[in-house]
């Protein structure tokens, strides 16, 4: 049998493609890139127009949909549907490796990037929902609380709902492929997963994934470029942006070609170790007692104010709508732009696990890792600013980019240079795992759901991803990156919502009776209803 690296590799690449999804997905993305080179102003104007329209008319919908998804996932964790299993095989990975891959492939690069920064912005400009003065003592706790809200349950929920929907139908039904459109099997119908509607969803998923992950690559690249200039006076300019993005693209492409086991899994495990070490070191060297106190208060505030914060549109409050759009709506849209690939990757590594395990890992276990990070780094930065230990005034005023916050904070630490280097390594390696899993997911989308697409396919999408990120960075920095995320993520709010409704319908109709009768039928925790053709059945009458 010829290997991928032998002359038959191109033939395999050509034969495995889903021509419609590949050509339209690649054509749409390459068309945007080509238009940028021909007329940058056209691309900039289009991004601004679409971004404004999305924020004006659909901001409320994103807030409501994400809130409902969180509620549904919490129900799955504690309710009877949590016992439903993805297929009949045992789990492919240990729980720790499963958790590390899910976390690294989701949004961990953003967690590291915004860790020391975000609370400072809320400290300077608190959420208008709360009547708190800027840079006051009360603003310190609310700043950490707001950060935890943005980075804990809701963002993670949209990844998880897609992973649950794709994984359930792919592993419990015959001939349902691992691709994004499979999440809508109850709506589209099993026999229509190769139809026009499914193709449109998969094409949009390709474009959204490229836009969402390019946003993250742009943030990480800008952190390198800005940080080098701020800390060591190395000004790389646009050429440096392209160089940094190209280097990162090469790194994640190498990891991606190595595959899930040799590449993504091992790097994810390394990431979590370094993440934990940097978290603990920051907590110990930073204001430890203050972090315990403010963290406890912030967690309590997030729980008690969760519904109000989730549904706050800013209507009737001066500056409220602008604040919500700039922060909460942007974050939800950014997460939604990642939901196709993150959901597909979660499904890829979840065979054999229960709905409860996936939902719990997706929103609870990952939140348990994220919350201490933001308390330690964000709380330390706010404490340092409030007590004059370090000055982040230029960051809060927008005179310098958010990318330099970590450098300013760690500069005040003993062994500050070591912290800075570890921070840059961590944000890079987390991004590599996110990028290689996303390009793997895009390759799966464009090959009809193959779990192991060819190396040529994966390299192609890696290059496209790097080019898109470089263009967004050169075009407008963070503002362009945020606009791109909102544009590509907005439509997937409705895909996630329909996927959730499909799961509710499926679980209620196919599994409701079995789960309600468990007390009298002696079904063990690992047993499943009888299966016909790979689909979990509740009775002989079920189709």
Query: pLDDT tens digits, residue range 140-151?
Result: 999 999 999 999
**What is the pLDDT confidence band of residue 421, given thresholds at 50, 70 and 90?**
confident
Query: pLDDT tens digits, residue range 294-319?
Result: 999 999 999 999 999 999 999 989 88
**What is the pLDDT confidence band of residue 262, given thresholds at 50, 70 and 90?**
low
* Distance in angstroms (rounded) separating the CA atoms of residues 504 and 344: 19
Q: What is the pLDDT of residue 521?
A: 44
Percent of the chain at pLDDT above 90? 37
Query: What average pLDDT does this structure show over 376-391?
Result: 94
Kindly tell me if the per-residue pLDDT of 541 is higher than 60.
no
Of the CATH numbers 3.30.1760, 1.10.1660, 1.10.3470, 1.20.1740, which one belongs to the domain with range 36-96+108-536?
1.20.1740
Tally the residues of the chain: 543
Query: Hey, how many other C-beta atoms are within 10 angstroms of the C-beta on 440?
Result: 29
351 Cβ contact partners less than 8 Å away, ≥ 6 residues apart: 86, 87, 89, 91, 92, 167, 171
Greatest mean pLDDT among 308-317, 450-459, 466-475: 308-317
Kindly tell me if the per-residue pLDDT of 427 is higher than 80.
no
Q: What is the pLDDT of residue 524?
A: 42
Kindly tell me if the per-residue pLDDT of 43 is higher than 90.
no
* Contact in structure between 510 and 485 (CB atoms under 8 Å): no
- In the numeric block, the tokens 């490796």 are attached to 97
Q: What is the pLDDT of residue 373?
A: 94
Looking at the DSSP assignment, which residues form a beta bridge with residue 535? 532
* Distance in angstroms (rounded) separating the CA atoms of residues 429 and 252: 9
149 Cβ contact partners less than 8 Å away, ≥ 6 residues apart: 302, 305, 306, 309
Q: Domain spans of the chain?
A: 36-96+108-536
Q: Are strands 531-532 and 535-536 parallel, antiparallel or unpaired?
A: antiparallel
Query: pLDDT tens digits, residue range 10-36?
Result: 666 677 888 888 888 778 777 776 776
Q: What are the phi and psi torsion angles at 147 (to 5°)?
A: -65, -45
Q: What is the pLDDT of residue 300?
A: 97
Kindly tell me if the per-residue pLDDT of 158 is higher than 60.
yes
Residue 150 vs residue 217, higher pLDDT: 150
Query: What average pLDDT does this structure show over 319-337?
Result: 89
* Distance in angstroms (rounded) separating the CA atoms of residues 411 and 408: 5
**What is the pLDDT confidence band of residue 542, given thresholds at 50, 70 and 90?**
very low
* Distance in angstroms (rounded) separating the CA atoms of residues 478 and 210: 16
Using DSSP, state whether 246 is helix, strand or coil. helix
Q: What is the pLDDT of residue 141?
A: 95
User: What would the DSSP string read from start to end of 147-186?
Assistant: HHHHHSHHHHHHHHHHHHHHHHHHHHSTT--SSGGGGGHH
Using DSSP, state whether 440 is helix, strand or coil. helix
pTM greater than the 0.85 cutoff: no
């Amino acid at each position: 049998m010829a290997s991928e690296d032998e002359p038959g590799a191109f033939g395999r690449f050509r034969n495995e493609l889903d021509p419609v999804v590949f050509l339209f997905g690649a054509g749409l993305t390459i068309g945007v890139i080509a238009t940028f080179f021909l007329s940058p102003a056209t691309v900039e104007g289009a991004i601004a127009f679409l971004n404004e329209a999305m924020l004006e008319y659909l901001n409320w919908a994103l807030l409501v949909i994400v809130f409902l998804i969180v509620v549904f996932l919490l129900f799955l964790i504690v309710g009877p549907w949590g016992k439903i299993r993805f297929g009949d095989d045992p789990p492919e990975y240990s729980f720790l490796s499963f958790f590390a891959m899910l976390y690294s492939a989701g949004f961990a690069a953003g967690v590291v990037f915004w860790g020391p920064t975000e609370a400072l912005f809320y400290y300077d400009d608190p959420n208008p929902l709360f009547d708190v003065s800027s840079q006051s003592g009360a603003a310190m706790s609310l700043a950490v609380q707001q950060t935890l809200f943005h980075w804990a349950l809701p963002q993670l929920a949209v990844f998880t709902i897609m992973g649950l929907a794709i994984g359930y139908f792919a592993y419990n039904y015959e001939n349902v492929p691992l691709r994004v459109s499979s999440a809508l099997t109850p709506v589209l119908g099993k026999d229509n997963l190769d139809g026009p509607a499914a193709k449109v969803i998969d094409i949009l998923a390709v474009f959204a994934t490229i836009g969402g992950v390019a946003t993250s690559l742009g943030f990480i690249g800008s952190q390198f470029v800005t940080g080098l200039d701020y800390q060591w006076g190395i000004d790389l300019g646009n050429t440096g942006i392209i160089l940094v993005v190209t280097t990162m693209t090469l790194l994640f492409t190498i990891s991606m070609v190595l595959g899930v086991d040799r590449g993504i899994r091992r790097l994810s495990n390394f990431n979590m170790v370094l993440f934990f070490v940097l978290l603990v070191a920051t907590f110990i060297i930073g204001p430890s007692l203050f972090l315990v106190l403010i963290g406890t208060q912030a967690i309590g505030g997030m729980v008690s104010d969760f519904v109000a914060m989730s549904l706050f549109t800013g209507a009737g409050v001066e500056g409220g709508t602008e604040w919500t759009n700039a922060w909460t709506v942007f974050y939800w849209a950014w997460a939604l732009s990642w939901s196709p690939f993150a959901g597909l990757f979660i499904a890829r590594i979840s065979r054999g696990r229960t709905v409860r395990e996936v939902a719990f890992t997706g929103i609870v276990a990952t939140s348990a890792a994220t919350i201490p990070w933001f308390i330690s780094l964000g709380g330390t930065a706010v404490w340092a600013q409030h007590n004059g230990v370090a000055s982040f005034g230029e960051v809060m005023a927008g005179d310098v980019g958010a990318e330099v916050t970590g450098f300013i904070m760690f500069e005040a630490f003993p062994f500050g240079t070591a912290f800075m280097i570890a921070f840059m390594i961590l944000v890079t390696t987390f991004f590599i795992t996110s990028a290689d899993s996303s390009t793997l997911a895009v390759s799966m989308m464009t090959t009809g759901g193959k779990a192991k697409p060819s190396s040529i396919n994966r390299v192609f999408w890696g290059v496209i991803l790097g080019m898109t990120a470089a263009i967004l960075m050169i075009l407008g920095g963070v503002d362009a990156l945020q606009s791109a995320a909102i544009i590509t993520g907005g439509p997937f709010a409705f895909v996630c919502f329909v996927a959730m409704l499909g799961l509710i319908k499926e679980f209620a109709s196919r599994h409701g009776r079995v789960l309600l009768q468990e007390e009298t039928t002696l079904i063990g925790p690992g047993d499943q209803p009888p299966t016909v053709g790979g689909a979990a059945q509740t009775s002989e009458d079920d189709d």
